[in-house]
A and B are shown apart, each in its own frame.
Chain A
């Protein structure tokens, strides 16, 4: 009796599992990347990179476009023109065209958060032309542009070149009061989609862009940085007395006014404090440990004095770069450094609105304090 009823249960359970909707992989078209543009009549135009597991097709990759009032609407429109089910769970990259980004991208992101099918680790990027131009590049080495960009961004983030740019990071920073987000900026270099810098947002609108070097500075400010190689140009004049004299050749002064170095940042972090709430003064201490890897001119840093001089010059340079970067984003009234959230956390009741902070932002002053420590100089001194 007992066995019979258990058997009955099992049969019912097995039969009921058919009630779950099935999805055969051959019938699916998996969207891997999407480009979003705004058309002249304010509709959304999307470009889709699609993978199809159709054994009869020549290539795995295809693309499609769609127009609609919402992102989902545009997808539906695109789906009308394919004989496959378009599924969105695997979108790894969404690229916003310049115009769309300037008008604000939160309306698109909102739809992505609503839908639990969308992966939260999806990356976002902005292009300095329309997304269509990037997606329409014909390159035999690059069957799917979206895939290529996705990998490009992933590698750069892994190498600590700039802060991570997933949808999670973006929405989190965007909705935090007193902090504005950054996204990688994609441009065309020699007809090839490349990361050319970072797009700075004010709230969800793209306002100004910064270079990739400045992207590293931002990452150093916001996160802990390890194992990142950096190139820097320093003035030559202070190092004149440390030049290397080769025996037998009459020493002549070093050529040029500047020289280039390359160093590996083995460890870097920043700590920002509010110096004065009333006067809106902030102070940032950045500490990095570096290993010297390359120098364009023969300069000896055998002596501690030379090493100290080098550290000091790098500090000076970084400080200047930070100040320039800060001035640039402050003029755009975008708080990518997140001084506002620090300010908020130090106020008494912790209540400050985004608008109130935007009014204060142009008047804040920041003291950037960089401390460089030269750890090793490689196999030569």
Chain B
């Protein structure tokens, strides 16, 4: 297995698109319910929790760049094999693939549940899952460049939803955010921990990095993307806390959709239907990138053709949807994805960095020695 990749010129993407890749994969189903979960932990000081999470994420992203820059043109699969050897490296790579798989499944079933609760209560899970996966298969067949295109276009097409928050924001009750600075640090940190699932996804950077044309300019768009998602979550959380009372937030599953349900226009009376449907534009890039991560990983580690993985994962997922039709099962899948992903995404890069640096030094010394001879 080659550690460094040779990407053909026509498959490369410009660093600027990294913004859309990371912002698209970070914004997903998590954000619909995240304000509530954060609020339950750190109450009116939730915004501090989100800012703490953001600072932490910036640190993680910089660490990731640091690791990647130690190599000429490698991705995480290659780096792990280089450092830990063939067996452990491949095993760790497989963990990444499983992580993407669980994340993909959790996105898929959460979205299906939202549709079933809001629009079609009688709809079969299998049909919904199958339809969504058709789109995913079709997109992934186009390759990374198509996926990046989808991310960019859908990002631009879906962000008008922010305007729907204007009406609730004018009716906010500022006393709900007061008194400020009362939650203890431990609560703030657990609030930040809870938001980890929503912010997850930027680990895709480990995979797409070799495809970037002008690598020196990659840092800014990646950090801007995390800043954008943070701002988005911050906005939604503050409006949610201001608009709803404690008891209401506590009892609602998807606070963002409840916020949008308040809208009433003469031409469309129920905006929540449109937003639930529109949310597909946010979900699809998400699933495309995750699916691509899986197929690409299988190809890199085990030389399985991407098409084979793609079709088999799609079939497995659409049948898995039938099983995950109960709220509690879906919830435990999300929790599993959040817990498992937390260590992999937020902690692991910090462990990997010193090992990479030590190994590099070691090789340098060895080379010097052999040169001296």
Closest beta carbon of chain A to B191's beta carbon, Å: 16
A13 within 8 A of B: yes
B179: chain A residues within 8 A (beta carbon) = 345-350
For B120, give the chain A residue with the smallest CB separation.
A20
Question: A233 to B134, alpha carbons, bound, how many Å?
Answer: 72
Binds A, one of B79-87, B153-161, B242-250, B288-296: B242-250
B261 within 8 A of A: yes
Q: Which of B244-264 contact A (CB under 8 A)?
A: 244-248, 251-252, 258, 261-264
Question: A172 to B258, alpha carbons, bound, how many Å?
Answer: 12
A12 within 8 A of B: yes
Does B182 lie within 8 Å of A349, measured CB to CB? yes
Does A120 lie within 8 Å of B261, measured CB to CB? yes
Given contacts A12-B134, A341-B173, contact A21 B123 (CB under 8 A): yes
A347: chain B residues within 8 A (beta carbon) = 179
**What 0/1 pattern do residues 129 to 143 of A give for CB contact below 8 A with B?**
000000000000000
Question: A345 to B176, alpha carbons, bound, how many Å?
Answer: 7
B118: chain A residues within 8 A (beta carbon) = 116
A119 within 8 A of B: yes
Does B123 lie within 8 Å of A345, measured CB to CB? no
B178: chain A residues within 8 A (beta carbon) = 345-346, 350
For B174, give the chain A residue with the smallest CB separation.
A345
Is chain B's interface secondary structure helix, strand, loop, or mixed overall?
helix
Contact of A120 among B123, B130, B131, B258 (CB under 8 A): B258
Contact of B270 among A19, A89, A341, A344 (CB under 8 A): A89
B122 within 8 A of A: yes
For A21, give the chain B residue with the smallest CB separation.
B122
Does B248 lie within 8 Å of A171, measured CB to CB? yes
Does B243 lie within 8 Å of A172, measured CB to CB? yes
**What 0/1 pattern do residues 144 to 156 of B give for CB contact below 8 A with A?**
0000000000000
A87 within 8 A of B: no
B117 within 8 A of A: yes
B46 within 8 A of A: no
Does A16 lie within 8 Å of B127, measured CB to CB? yes
Question: A6 to B244, alpha carbons, bound, how many Å?
Answer: 47
For A118, give the chain B residue with the smallest CB separation.
B261
Does B138 lie within 8 Å of A16, measured CB to CB? no
B269 within 8 A of A: yes
Closest beta carbon of chain A to B93's beta carbon, Å: 31
B371 within 8 A of A: no
Does A19 lie within 8 Å of B127, measured CB to CB? yes
B124 within 8 A of A: yes
Does B261 lie within 8 Å of A172, measured CB to CB? no
B26 within 8 A of A: no
B175 within 8 A of A: yes
Contact of A342 among B124, B175, B262 (CB under 8 A): B175
B124: chain A residues within 8 A (beta carbon) = 19
A291 within 8 A of B: no
**Residue picked from B131, B246, B263, most chain A C-beta under 10 Å:** B131
A342: chain B residues within 8 A (beta carbon) = 175
Q: Which of A175-196 contact B (CB under 8 A)?
A: 175-177
A residues near B (Cβ < 8 Å) are 9, 12-13, 16, 19-21, 89-90, 113, 116, 119-121, 168, 171-173, 175-177, 338, 341-342, 344-350
11 pairs, A vs B, C-beta closer than 8 Å = A9-B134, A90-B269, A113-B252, A172-B243, A172-B244, A176-B245, A176-B246, A341-B176, A342-B175, A344-B175, A348-B182
